[in-house]
Amino acid sequence: MLYRNIGKPVFFRLDPEKAHHLVIGGLHKVSAMPGGVPLLKSLFGIKEAPELSVDLFGLHFPSPVGLAAGLDKNAEAVEGFSSIGFGFMEVGTVTPKGQPGNEQPRLFRLPPDEALINRMGFNNYGAEAMADKLAALQSRPIPIAVNIGKNKTTPNEEAYNDYRKCIQALYPQADFFVVNISSPNTPDLRNLQHGSELAELLKQVVGEMESQNSRHGAAKAVLVKIAPDVTDEELEFMVDTISASGVSGIIATNTTVSREGLQHPHARETGGLSGKPLQERSTEIVGRIYRQTGGRLPIIGSGGIFSSEDAYRKIRAGASLVEIYTALIYEGPEINRRLHRGLRDLLLRDGFKHISEAVGADHR
């Protein structure tokens, strides 16, 4: 109620990108203050429930609900976000060299649709700057995934070099990596999801991960984040290629370019749409991936999660973990406690002792 009654009315009067920077800056400052992290935990944190904790990729996730990439692009507020009930978080998308992204305005709220449209364009300070931020962290209570992409000026045939450079710069600091080939806001990026380009890119990424593992003596997971705007045939090919590549899992899905059913005038804006309108399609894709792989390839479900029922549908469809982003903007940090409590109730309702028993339950 604190956010809904006080924070949201203030933030929603501001330009969305200015509000975004205020949140990141505010969380960073509070967590850096003496007693700031305990304060955030007391206000918004959750107590770990054994039935909801997940062990995956050699990591321990205290909650199955994480923060999707795009909010903390430069790893500036990791300690703050780690204190408000998330079980993991993605930082980025980061590129080898810093870049300003697309021209403003580039972030739009659609309140009647409970959605956002962004065309940020991978604005970030670069891989080395992020590595410094992560190396300076005082604590890491949850797994941190680094979401990596290519610079706008890098042609697709050379894109693998950018992903390798990000891995090289950030391998010691990341708990796992996410390869972003599905943002609609970098020209031609989504073409990397298809044909021989996907197989070659993943071959290069997996090779770099293995090289860094040998160098550092620590095996780390790498996942691929895919778009929802694909045909059934394209999705089947992508999943087959990803499965054969040796990567550790899939995140389904990124934002959509679809505008079906939207009410707000901002629906005319270009960019990637996130929020409730994406919910059904992303859950459908989670289920298709799970069926195609027989549940052997871990999935993180992302897209349109606003309630524990939304999260649970993705889990029953096949997701081992889930992520939120837009719901945090609309509902505030209290949402994590509601999701946590609701998921426990849903497991009890269905007679599951642990959340892993619910993963893919709709297919059994």
Give the residue from 284, 345, 335 showing the smallest Cα distance to 114: 335
284 contact partners, CB below 8 Å, separation of at least 6:
317
Both tokens of residue 289?
A: 């991936």
Element (H, E) at 337: helix 335-350
Q: CA 157, CA 163: separation in Å to the nearest integer?
A: 12
**Cα distance between residue 171 and residue 166, in whole Å:** 8
Determine whether 243 is exposed, middle or buried from the number of CB atoms within 10 Å of its CB (0-12, 13-18, 19+): middle
- Told to judge if 83 belongs to the known catalytic residues of this protein, a careful annotator would answer no
Question: What distance in Å separates the CA atoms of residue 250 and residue 296, rounded to the nearest whole number?
Answer: 11
End-to-end CA distance of the chain: 39
Buried b or exposed e, range 271-291, using 16+ CB within 10 angstroms: bbbbbbbbbebbbebbbbbbe
Extended strands (E) in the chain: 54-56, 59-61, 65-67, 88-94, 97-99, 107-110, 115-118, 124-126, 144-148, 176-180, 221-226, 249-252, 272-275, 299-302, 321-324
Residue of 31, 82, 83, 183 with catalytic role: 183
Catalytic residue positions, numbered:
183
